[in-house]
Structure 1
């Protein structure tokens, strides 16, 4: 067994911790606490930061991590850090610090940590690209389509720091030659096309990598199961594979999303609907008889039914719970046409958000009759019910809102919804909300 050559990369995470703790300690000094209170406050923050950063995976940033992922981690850590800081002064009466000082402290700390984190990320990219440092020698085993795509990626993205030394084709006696090449040329990581390997070859590769301290990674090729968000759990010592990892199954993420939903919904209800609802109620009543609000049963998280609220945009009719609105639908009133065009009719759903039935962002809920129909005809349609439905969603801002005209419309909607629930982040929610506002202002051709 050959000893693995050490890299200074292993020091990056401890250095990042040290920088962040220094920033916290530095700005805490300006809160003008006495020495004992300062020590207590910093010790509390030190412990909480360690615990929550491990939980949020704040320091799990690798050379292949996207910048959007880093921004999402910073946003989550900022929310958690703010809650931790205010919780300390909420439980401790002996230490008094004005709220504006605490807000300044949180903003200063997290802004500085965010700048430091992004600076290290981009400096390392520049260092790899310009000076060729911090690189890893790799080989690729197999010449499948995805193997060649990976080789092109390594060649075209030197800032990631991967140098592919050779691509091997799969032949019976080739593994022994590959093993010798890996050792002789000090290869760090092995990428193997799993679809072109037999079970015996896979096991030989795993044993070799383990015994020689080499990183082994598999390229999924055409086996769809390997392209999923696979998660390993252990029942005792028995490994169990879960084919879908949903971030919102994590309690911390769920609390963060619920807090965001509650605050956002409260602001909209108090700041907008408090005066808009009486105004629209008068116009709706003048134009046609019937209630101001329209409520309809929809399917929510875990397929639980709830009443979804909207401003009534149509004349009361017996088909409202059966047929979707179509283009130039005669059931729509004049004010209803305006509300639907600008998506104002959806605003009462912030009451649903406050009640906990919906989220601001998530898969759009369907009528119960349509849910039953699509569940039987559309593959994986019910997966979207693992999370709360939303007022707006990733599918809607990508052109799949409103009437389902073809089967492909609902298939694409489901694809976006599944991608959302498997890749949720605060940053993604923010982007969807901003894009929704932009679409509402400039108009959407499917908003009718």
Structure 2
């Protein structure tokens, strides 16, 4: 092993230790984890197989008093489970570092294996020979045993491979400071490391630091990025150049088309399947709600008309998906002469513009129900970021002037309700802080949409229909 003198803080292994000023640095910095990861994958595969075998043989012995049939079922199930586990990343780097991920992927693989066997039995016309009790008992026993085995083996994997199961090296060459837990941090200035491709001795010196590393990240000024990139390309290692613009622009990835390179900075939060699912749910719920609530809607419309003989609906332009403008419908709750089509003035608790029936329908959120028409027309969704009036102010600024991320809300259809509303972010935005909470909730909703989150938000909405900030 090669040793080098080490100055104070020239290299640190962030969590769990920092090297002392007089300690000598040994190269390679860390032993290779590649073989240990392979051993852990093999260990997981073996313990999974033993867990399934023990479960199925135990159930077979308890239900039938015989192991022969259980052994046959095991021989059929085990290959499908292992294939599924490989497909669903049950033997992957995240499975070594996260017990939750490990258990979840093992269960998904087990469900896939049992489902495949049931389909095969159905098409082979032997499903009538399979006991439902036996299938249920085997699945329950295998699931429980897999969870127990995966949980109990995780501490051993952590001891073998460490908390991240990777060796990560960060080379600080005068760029922005970067600190990653459990990574080696090396100052190129302290160790006289330069990306000089014309100096074989320097390349050898760099290689000694990179030996056994799974990832190498370089933080350097823009003018040295090309030299480091070309040096890393010849190092047979996963090399990365730190670039703060990736964070500031929210870069999602990089693309190369012919002779042009580009940074991917945006993508729709929903694919075709997600959009179709969300639209189908919107039509089903909005259509059913419109029919069910028709007596209430007609009654409210009649009361509004009788109070001051004005129009029943209030229409206002709002910004929707893709930044397109659309007309939103509400029950009119203010006096006709004092309507604010631009939305420059938010309604307040003792607002003198609000009518008597208007105060009631705003308090109970009934004034929002005509937006079911917008949902049926496709302008809005049941769940999504609430559309704001174009003239809305947070303090003295327009919403998009307060936070540059504001327009990201428009990547999805606006909604009748949303994550911000069920968290209580409603009412006037008298200060910039009044906007920040609801904007953060909207951006959180955009990140990782699922239909189940929509269902949860819809149920949660019923608990905030009557709200102290609904005025």
2:193 to 155, 174, 178: 174
C-alpha separation between the residues in 2 aligned to 1:140 and 1:291?
66
Alignment partner of 1:405 is 2:406:
no
Alignment partner of 1:295 is 2:315:
yes
C-alpha separation between the residues in 1 aligned to 2:144 and 2:206?
43
Moved more, 431-440 or 306-315: 431-440
Backbone CA RMSD of aligned residues: 5.2
Give TM-score scaled by structure 1 length.
0.61
Equivalent residues of 1:244, 1:422 under 8 A apart? no
Q: How many Å apart are 1:309 and its aligned residue?
A: 1.8
Secondary structure in structure 2 of the residue aligned to 1:308: strand
Equivalent residues of 1:298, 1:308 under 8 A apart? yes
* Structure 1 partner of 2:469: 446
Alignment partner of 1:311 is 2:331:
yes
1:190 to 209, 212, 216: 216
Structure 1 pair 226/410, CA: closer, same or farther in 2 (3 Å)? closer
C-alpha separation between the residues in 2 aligned to 1:58 and 1:299?
44
Equivalent residues of 2:94, 2:101 under 8 A apart? no
Equivalent residues of 1:233, 1:242 under 8 A apart? yes
Secondary structure in structure 2 of the residue aligned to 1:385: helix
Structure 1 pair 381/128, CA: closer, same or farther in 2 (3 Å)? same
* Structure 2 partner of 1:386: 411
Equivalent residues of 1:246, 1:421 under 8 A apart? no
Secondary structure in structure 1 of the residue aligned to 2:336: coil
C-alpha separation between the residues in 1 aligned to 2:369 and 2:149?
42
* Structure 1 partner of 2:168: 138
1:269 to 284, 287, 290: 290
Equivalent residues of 1:363, 1:389 under 8 A apart? yes
Alignment partner of 1:322 is 2:342:
yes
* Structure 2 partner of 1:103: none
Q: How many Å apart are 1:278 and its aligned residue?
A: 3.4
Equivalent residues of 2:207, 2:235 under 8 A apart? no
Structure 1 pair 138/375, CA: closer, same or farther in 2 (3 Å)? closer
Structure 1 pair 293/120, CA: closer, same or farther in 2 (3 Å)? farther
Gaps of 5+ in 2: 1-31, 50-79, 113-139, 195-201
More helix, by proportion: 1
Equivalent residues of 1:231, 1:244 under 8 A apart? no
* Structure 2 partner of 1:159: none
- 1:56-71 pair list within 5 angstroms: 62=94
Deviations 1:377-412 (A, max 9, x none): 454544433332222234444554332212444466
Secondary structure in structure 2 of the residue aligned to 1:232: strand
C-alpha separation between the residues in 2 aligned to 1:132 and 1:336?
64
Give TM-score scaled by structure 2 length.
0.58
Structure 1 pair 289/146, CA: closer, same or farther in 2 (3 Å)? farther
Equivalent residues of 1:225, 1:243 under 8 A apart? no
Q: How many Å apart are 1:233 and its aligned residue?
A: 3.0
1:257 to 278, 284, 298: 278
- 1:240-255 pair list within 5 angstroms: 240-248=262-270, 250-255=271-276
* Structure 2 partner of 1:344: 366
Equivalent residues of 1:189, 1:214 under 8 A apart? yes
Equivalent residues of 1:4, 1:213 under 8 A apart? no
Gaps of 5+ in 1: 20-45, 82-110, 155-163
Alignment partner of 1:216 is 2:239:
yes
C-alpha separation between the residues in 2 aligned to 1:224 and 1:144?
14
Secondary structure in structure 2 of the residue aligned to 1:247: coil
Equivalent residues of 1:146, 1:219 under 8 A apart? no
Moved more, 313-322 or 376-385: 376-385
C-alpha separation between the residues in 2 aligned to 1:130 and 1:69?
18
Structure 1 pair 216/319, CA: closer, same or farther in 2 (3 Å)? same
Structure 1 pair 382/180, CA: closer, same or farther in 2 (3 Å)? same
Equivalent residues of 1:229, 1:245 under 8 A apart? no
Secondary structure in structure 2 of the residue aligned to 1:322: coil
Equivalent residues of 2:334, 2:358 under 8 A apart? yes
Task: Decide which structure has the larger Cα Rg and report it.
Answer: 2
Equivalent residues of 1:375, 1:382 under 8 A apart? no
Equivalent residues of 1:363, 1:394 under 8 A apart? yes
C-alpha separation between the residues in 2 aligned to 1:400 and 1:305?
23
Q: How many Å apart are 1:180 and its aligned residue?
A: 0.7
Q: How many Å apart are 1:306 and its aligned residue?
A: 2.3
